[in-house]
A = this chain, B = another copy of it.
């Protein structure tokens, strides 16, 4: 941590600040020039509150040198984390460390026929997990909000029928009991900094799929994953799903660089959701392929048996036939890349 001292500060005040750092077990090196004095703070600074230091009268600015996250940091665990989701078929579905997985399914679970039929179709095309929303975060209170407990029941039926592990989004901690048999719990973009929820999921004993917030930096994203790992749960999947920019043709802007940057900073698996990133079905194929080329460990794709009748997000859902065609390209590229799928 580097502390830049205001011009013309009395030495006595600087010494007082240095003493504070030393009392915290840190050591402190001075660099004094004609116009500037800089303090280099050495030691474990992850518990120093950068805002409190900045609030000091004599401090011009403070800059962190080391990352504020530890458990998720690749510096402290160089090898990739492999997230393993137990599957009814026997073997686990794996993500990370060379393993690739495709999660597919409708935005919302609507009825048994729909979810079972989509589950069968996506399995046939090669999906390894089934997604489906039972609790839907909708901008408008007048839009369809999901089937809630009944939706989770229908997902379990589809799991029974196909053997696919299921992924579903939790929107409120009070419902956590309902997720007992869900295989992967998803935290949506809008809840990426719902810290009460992140803490609770640190003890849930299941893999957590954490989506990046619409306007969150990569560092904040990793800090949210740190919340889950700090609670003892190391099975975290990071999901890039597009950030908000001034561009309007696409719903969001897929931050493709986030894939290699997250792999560089962290050992956790990284997947991409091209459906939400683009909001346009014809972009799902090129963005899926770009994600694989950038090193992603998986994809999450919306598929609906009848998009124009979908109760939510129809515009970005592929039909099962379109998904099958995307998967042909995906599989060819995974073979080329040598990923285990």
Contacts and interface: CB of A to CB of B under 8 A. Distances in A.
Interface of A: 2, 4, 27, 29-36, 38, 40, 42-43, 46-47, 49, 51-57, 61, 63, 65-66, 68-69, 135, 137-145, 171-174, 190-191, 193-199, 213-215, 217-220, 223, 226-227, 230, 243-250, 253-257, 259-261, 264, 277-278, 282-283, 286-287, 289-295, 307-317, 333, 336
Contacts of A247: 217-218, 243, 255
Given A4-B65, A137-B195, A46 B286 contact: no
Contacts of A49: 143-144, 311-312, 314
Top 7 A-B residue pairs of the complex, sorted by shortest distance between their CB atoms: A215-B215, A55-B314, A31-B40, A33-B42, A29-B31, A172-B196, A293-B293
A52 B308 contact: yes
A173 B171 contact: no
Given A33-B43, A194-B190, A293-B290, A311 B250 contact: no
Among A143, A247, A249, A292, the one with the most B-chain Cβ atoms within 10 Å of its Cβ is A247
Contacts of A46: 140, 142
Contacts of A253: 243, 245, 253, 255, 257
28 contacts: A2-B63, A29-B38, A31-B40, A51-B310, A51-B312, A52-B312, A61-B65, A139-B223, A140-B226, A141-B223, A141-B230, A171-B195, A172-B194, A174-B196, A190-B194, A217-B249, A243-B246, A243-B247, A245-B245, A245-B253, A254-B256, A256-B290, A257-B278, A257-B283, A257-B287, A260-B282, A289-B293, A290-B294
Given A36-B42, A55-B315, 19 more contacts: A4-B65, A29-B40, A31-B40, A49-B143, A51-B313, A51-B315, A52-B311, A55-B308, A69-B140, A172-B197, A194-B194, A214-B215, A217-B247, A245-B255, A246-B246, A250-B261, A253-B257, A257-B277, A259-B286
A30 B29 contact: yes
Contacts of A29: 29-32, 38, 40
A309 B61 CA distance: 16
